[in-house]
Chains A and B, each alone.
Chain A
Amino acid sequence: MKPKPDSRPKYWRSLSELEGDPEFHEFVEREFRSPVEQEAPTAAGRRRFMQIMGASFALTGCYWKEEKLLPHTKQPEGFVPGEPVHYATHMELAGDPVGLWVKSYDGRPIKVEGNPNDSVSLGGTGVAHQAAILGFYDPDRSSKPLQRGEATSSEAFDQALLLAFRAAAKKGGQGFAVLSRATRSPSLLRLKAELKKQAPEATWTTYEAGYCAGPDKGAELAFGHKATMRYSVEKADVIVALDSEFIESGSPGALGSVRSLASRRDPDVGEMSRIYALETRLSEIGSLADHRVAVTASAIPALVALLDARISAARGEAGAQAAPSDNALGGAEAKKVIEVAAKDLLEHAGQSLVVVGAKHAPEVHAVVHRINVLLGNVGTTLTYLEPAESINGGADDLAALVAEMEGNKVETLLILGANAAYDSAADIEFKAALSKVKQSFHIGLYVDETAELASFHAPEAHFLEAWSDSRALDGTLRIGQPLIDPILNGRTYVEHLARFLGLPETSGQAIVRKTLGLRADKDWQSAVHDGFLGQPSKSLEVKLQTIAPIALPQAVELEVIFDLCPKVHDGRFANNGWLQELPHSLSKLTWGNAALVSPVTQKKYGLKDGFRCKVTVDGRSIDLPLMIAPGQADGTVGVVLGYGREAAGVVGGSKKEETDIIGSDTYKIRPSKAPHFASGAIALIDAREDLGITQDLHAIDDIGRKGQKDREDQLIREATVAEYRKHPSVIEHKVHHPPLLSLWQPPVSYDGHKWGLAVDLNKCGGCNACVIACQSENNISVVGKKEIARGREMSWIRIERYYKGDENSPAVRQQPVMCQQCENAPCEQVCPVGATMHSKEGLNDMVYTRCIGTRYCSNNCPYKVRRFNYRNYNLEAYGITPYTGTDEPRAKLKAMAFNPEVTVRSRGVMEKCTFCVQRIQNVKIKAKNHKRAIVDGEIKVACEQACASGALVFGDLNDKQGRVGKAHSVPRAYELLQELNNRPRVNYLARISNPHPELSTQDGHAEHH
């Protein structure tokens, strides 16, 4: 229901309103919007009130001197304290917006959820989105403008920036440069155009550390014009992924792609697709693939060329790449798989898809475009869309700016968020160049490495406290609304730009609304309510051009491959404890980065697991810990960017605050000419490193390895689709056990609800979004590296990673394990104080207040999903030592990230997954109030909500036709450790692979014993 402005009750919200402050009135006007789910005649007023109240409550005497906490003199109509409300917004990361629903509880955002109506992400989220809540309440965020490191006023900052711009504008903008990050925000682009209009000579440079020129320029080479690719992976029967991250969050449209990819991996619903992955590291697509081969990055062009040669020959098309010689192809296995894949692609022409990693050269992308066109995939699995306006750029663009700065051509540099002092390539001397700039202005969330060097700094508003817009991959718009007033005085880039450009509208809301051209209130309200707007871009007719032969890269002895960190991205989320402590999906490394090498490379260079090593590229070296990562291509060293920050904050490492630097800065060896992979060297440093890893923390001996191998087939049950179709009971017969009899009658009959969860192993690629979602929803502590190294992590969901097959060409299996909510629960029987009890809906309820911490339940839990608070992790200010004590306002701010619906556990108690009992209760109460039954899918537990691939399904098992009821009834559903007769409520859906018949005999993954 839309709010009716007239019905808003008259109550005053702050002293400034009583005094008739015009700015406040303006604020109230622009704050008008509607909530998403609730019928809320007074939504705007309520929200605004709660914003002020929430913020003042948190920050009285700290940041909000002028605000007063005031009680309602009259309760606003429709306002229910303690009832969470969802608001639609979006988060743009490196130019890729993802639609979100953010849960607001009494005026403060507490949980990020995917917007299921988003046309591109389809409701999925990645770790970065889930962790945004903690980033928002980060006390290290910049809170006041600085001038040369000293606090100054916003007015002084504005004045200085205005003067600098006016002076430059008089000269046509000469000497004025802007450095920004990638964006597809129409408002920012509109103001950029405005800036260009007022100061035509001003330069605007965009720098993203993770920028890849390949996709954009590849389309230009192939078609002569730019084109945006939009995949429809659900239509692809055969997918060939060449070193591709196209389903990993952070790459454009990935969340939608993984969902549509996963939809074709369910053998119980239609035909399965087949995935070939040839890649340098074990990626998400590699872990889902039916055939996976590790190849070096420099072999990819040759493999693409071979594929093109085969496809073109079969299609009788001229202008194909010459088939490269065998030794360029990265091994016989890779060649064989590509040959088979080529046949498979041709058989499924028009229903297939070839993708290549963004890091590869434009020529390679051009050839891949050609292959897809030749296969007739355009229009089915792949659509080319008119590219939306966007800005993006990489090392070349930054180098050009730095050259200008060094040539003293830049007098004023305005930096919008970019942290080039940290994340520029090793050979770009941004810091030195910055010192030659007369005046530099930095606007960002943190006083980071760049802000420390800038003459002026102003805090940026976090996306949860700002109006924003962005254009998604398909061309539709995303609109972001603030959930709360800027709690740390930040302003968005557009608000700053609008001010010094002298635009009539300077508030974020007015700017965004003007950009979107929504004059009618109704349209605006509806757009803000939905969080998105507009029609998808038109699809493009593409015509292939002749593509020159790809220059095959020289094979190098050792490739150093740079990737963005799947957790802290390019380093911008380094101060986020949840992300730092998140185990990397393969290495299970937390709090840092490592050089990942295959066992072969390790032996070849005499490296030692868990020791430090020196990695050298172009004569520059760094040292960092080494980890053996089966599945990494031989002859490559995988490193991630984003660590070694020196001004990230108390959590992520800060020289000023004297906290530990987390990980090693790999930008220091990243060459600007080859930013994604480069020839390098590696050598052992004889120093052991205590790594914070959460699996295989201690070396596995032969017995352990054998024991692990013996049981893997039972823990992660697998079959090929052919076997499964022939004998659907193949999964059931993986484990044989005596009849499961119990001495006792089940004490509960579960007549009402019977909650259950299904985990589809065929869909989980191990992206970790569920882990962070769970952490955010359930107030799970951050324990720090030291405690992780002692094996005391607290996560309620653990994604178990197992390698299968030969150590040199392994397949990886990801298995999320959370509390299995056993009906015959071993934990419940052994608790001497009855702190874990069985509910009549079958949940193993945990009564924290009753727990005395005998830990017997954990010992008796065969899944070991219970986590114990060995220390007072939360009192230690959410894991991070400098915030000891509860009176510190900074610690209080951090504590705002806690979900008020979930108890914050203290020292000495056991905790575990509750199936998000608070969510179950909320929906039950709502259904009861409306006197109706709970609809299947109405309760979405946090992990399920976050999961982009739809691998997790929660619901009532009594509803046999419900999603979870159906999932539990398919023949490939099995209970983990079923033979123990615990009767878990979580069922795993066995992994069914779809290998090509020609490859299946030699393929380790399809074999069964």
Chain B
Amino acid sequence: MVTPSTTNPYQGPLKGDNPFAQITDNVSRIMEAPKPPLAWYIALGFALMLLGIFGASLGYVVWEGIGAWGHIHPVAWGFPIVNFVFWVGIGHAGTLISAVLFLFRQNWRTAINRFAEAMTIFAVVCAAVFPGVHIGRPWLPYWMFPIPNQMGMWPQFRSPLEWDVFAVGTYATVSILFWYMGMIPDFATFRDRSVSTVRRFVYGLLAMGWRGSSRQWHRYERAYLLLAALATPLVLSVHSVVSFDFATSQLPGWHTTIFPPYFVAGAIFGGFAMVVVLAVPARQFFGLKKIITMKHLELMAKVILATGMIVGYAYAMEMFIAWYSGAMYEQFAFLNRAFGNFAWAYWTMIFCNVLSPQVFWFKKMRTNVWVIFVVGIIVNVGMWFERFVIICTSLTRDFLPANWGAFIPSPIDYATLAGSFGLFFTLFLLFCRYLPMVAMAEVKAFIPEGHIHDH
């Protein structure tokens, strides 16, 4: 049933006597090693420090009031929402790689889907923090949920923020299910290889009694397929809905019909960039170069190039439509975006998102680990700026000039931005150490040796 695709990175046999065992070894020894590499400790220390900053700054915000952030009168949404959209966007690649590429039989995905999924979940966790603490009364975000209550309060379903609650909530739920289900066979492997009782118990619990029988495999693969089919529309829906926060509003610069596809493309773009940023050091430090091959990286670079160009097209189209609309406020919003007080942010975004991926036209570049890594970082910076440009610069100058203002972030803004990376990396590093970073079972199915036993 599964045919080797032309994009299968495992063209030649893996070296060694038993490639299957080698894959298992490679992945499992990360968990089994008594000590992870030094780099892991350094990275975790750094991540924990940022996480501490995150906790402290959010605590300060809750205690002191959200005035601690840099919001001003016209710019009522600032860094927290920028960060929210940024992280939700990052969270796109995981499901895309797992579900969409699965359905399209892009088997090369198997090496990276697991930690792309993990990345998704951690990014959604980071994203979910922000709407809760950005609101004026951070102890009441549950009022946005339809919880029957004695006060007779009910959410107002015309609000795109309400749609967000469900879109992001559904996405997070399905992503976690998908991720967890995919890990079950690998948990079983970990369980079987574990020597300590604690590990055996914990992984055993997580493996939910997996024995690897044909019936289990059969059901597993059916379920996986169904979940993938379920998750696929979510890839489109979640960021489309997030973009509705802006697209359905009246604000020039937000009120744009191109937003849903543009946001989705941007999210995939940013998500893939984040995957390469994570994959490059991970394969380096955990010795997974053979599993996450150069070919994988190259394919991801191509996706980045393609989605980057969709994003670039969207930028151009926004400008064109603003001009073509003849609507004065709309025209001004885009003129101001490109040449106003925040022009530097706009051109940073253009450089990062449109220009920098162009290097991937060259094979030499897209097969160079360093280039891929650096471009990945640049694209992530660019995607953050994209949200900043859309959200903040549009708000600084809307209809009535008497309201115009500028946005000056406060130290807390920077602290929470940096801190959210702390949360993300902490979770990710713990994941690398304790959970199967590569979907061993799936990879095995697609290495050349695996095909001998194919139908």
Contacts and interface: CB of A to CB of B under 8 A. Distances in A.
Contacts of B155: 832-834
B398 A864 contact: yes
A141 to B, nearest CB: 30
A291 to B, nearest CB: 25
B398 A862 contact: yes
A862 B250 contact: yes
A923 B144 CA distance: 36
B interface SS class: loop
Interface stretch (B67-75, B270-278, B355-363, B372-380): B67-75
Interface string B394-408: 010111111111101
Interface in A292-337: none
A708 B401 contact: yes
B140 interface: yes
16 contacts: A700-B404, A703-B339, A703-B340, A712-B401, A790-B70, A790-B408, A791-B72, A800-B400, A802-B402, A829-B158, A830-B160, A855-B77, A907-B137, A908-B136, A909-B136, A977-B399
A845 B66 CA distance: 24
Interface string A794-821: 0000101110000000000001010000
B136 A798 contact: no
A20 interface: no
A-B pairs, 6 with minimum CB distance: A853-B136, A908-B136, A870-B67, A800-B402, A791-B72, A855-B76
A855 B136 contact: yes
Interface of A: 695-698, 700-701, 703-704, 707-708, 710-712, 714-715, 787, 790-793, 798, 800-802, 815, 817, 826, 829-834, 850-856, 858-860, 862-864, 867-872, 907-910, 976-977, 980, 982
Given A701-B340, A851-B136, A862 B399 contact: yes
Contacts of A787: 67
B159 A832 contact: yes
A826 B136 contact: no
Contacts of B159: 829-832, 856
Contact of A852 (B74, B137, B401, B404): B137
A883 B423 CA distance: 38
Contacts of A869: 136
A277 to B, nearest CB: 23
Contacts of B404: 696, 698, 700, 704
A868 B65 CA distance: 12
Contact of A870 (B71, B144, B153, B158): B71
Report which residue of A698, A791, A798, A910 has the largest number of chain B beta carbons within 10 angstroms of its beta carbon: A791
A712 B329 CA distance: 12
A249 B395 CA distance: 37
Given A802-B401, A817-B400, 10 more contacts: A711-B328, A715-B401, A793-B73, A802-B402, A829-B158, A832-B156, A832-B159, A862-B251, A862-B400, A868-B71
Contact of A864 (B66, B73, B162, B248): B73
Given A852-B144, A870-B65, A872-B65, A833 B76 contact: no
A860 B74 CA distance: 10
A868 B400 contact: no
Nearest to A791: B72
Given A831-B159, A834-B154, A908 B77 contact: no
Contacts of B408: 790
A980 B399 CA distance: 11
B146 to A, nearest CB: 11
Contact of B329 (A711, A856, A910): A711
Contact of B137 (A698, A862, A909): A909
Contact of B335 (A707, A908, A910): A707
Report which residue of B64, B77, B140, B159 has the largest number of chain A beta carbons within 10 angstroms of its beta carbon: B159
B236 to A, nearest CB: 22
Interface in B416-431: none
A739 to B, nearest CB: 15
Given A826-B250, A856-B161, A863 B401 contact: no
A971 to B, nearest CB: 23
A695 B329 CA distance: 19
A859 B395 contact: yes
Nearest to A735: B328
A853 B66 contact: yes
A710 B332 contact: yes
B314 interface: no
B249 interface: yes
Interface in B161-185: 161-162, 165
Given A715-B400, A870-B65, A864 B74 contact: yes
A395 B162 CA distance: 66
A991 B339 CA distance: 33
A708 B398 CA distance: 10
Contact of A834 (B140, B153, B335, B398): B153
A798 B402 contact: yes
Given A832-B165, A908-B136, A707 B401 contact: yes
A868 B73 CA distance: 8
B217 interface: no
B413 to A, nearest CB: 12
Contacts of A859: 76-77, 249, 251, 254, 395
B141 A852 contact: yes
